[in-house]
Amino acid sequence: MSIYVISILVSVLFLIGILELVRRQKLKEQYSLLWIGFSVFLIVVSIDVRLIENISLWLDVKYAPALLFLFGLLFCFALIIHLTVVITKMSKQLLRLTQEITILRERGVTEHDHD
């Protein structure tokens, strides 16, 4: 079995794994988009190696496989930015929720008042 066949199999299994995590609700759809995109990219690059070679010629990269490391690094940066945006959003929501709870407590409304 050649390295290209192994690469295609691993890429397809990776995509299936991501889709299965989404199906089992262990990974939210909105967070899976980067992973699905990366999986599809891996499949395309694995099927057509000339694509990487052509991109490396266009970018004047002497060693085409080095582009794979660049793409992996760019993917990591995109993932970090995405997760930072999610954390920022959740921090704002937590702050707002904390403020609302404080306001309710100041007004004397607690969980026990509803019983």
* 54 domain residue, yes or no: no
Residues 39 and 77 reside in one and the same domain: no
* 18 domain residue, yes or no: yes
- Using one digit for the tens of pLDDT, what is the confidence trace for 11-62? 899 999 999 999 999 988 877 888 899 889 888 988 888 888 898 899 998 8
Assess contact for 67 and 52: CB atoms under 8 A. Answer: yes
Q: Is 11 exposed, middle or buried (0-12, 13-18, 19+ CB in 10 A)?
A: buried
Full residue range of the structural domain in which residue 20 is found: 1-47
* 57 domain residue, yes or no: no
Residues 6 and 33 reside in one and the same domain: yes
Domain total of the chain: 2
pLDDT at residue 115, rounded to an integer: 52
| Amino acid at residue number 36 | I
Residues 108 and 71 reside in one and the same domain: yes
* 59 domain residue, yes or no: no
* 55 domain residue, yes or no: no
Residues 3 and 33 reside in one and the same domain: yes
* 98 domain residue, yes or no: yes
* 23 domain residue, yes or no: yes
Closest CA to 42 of 31, 27, 52: 52
* 15 domain residue, yes or no: yes
Closest CA to 44 of 1, 7, 3, 19: 7
53: which residues sit within 8 A by CB, 6+ positions away?
64
- Using one digit for the tens of pLDDT, what is the confidence trace for 52-98? 889 889 999 888 878 888 888 998 898 899 889 989 999 999 999 99
Left, alpha or beta for 23 (phi > 0: left; psi -120 to 50: alpha)? alpha
Residues 70 and 103 reside in one and the same domain: yes
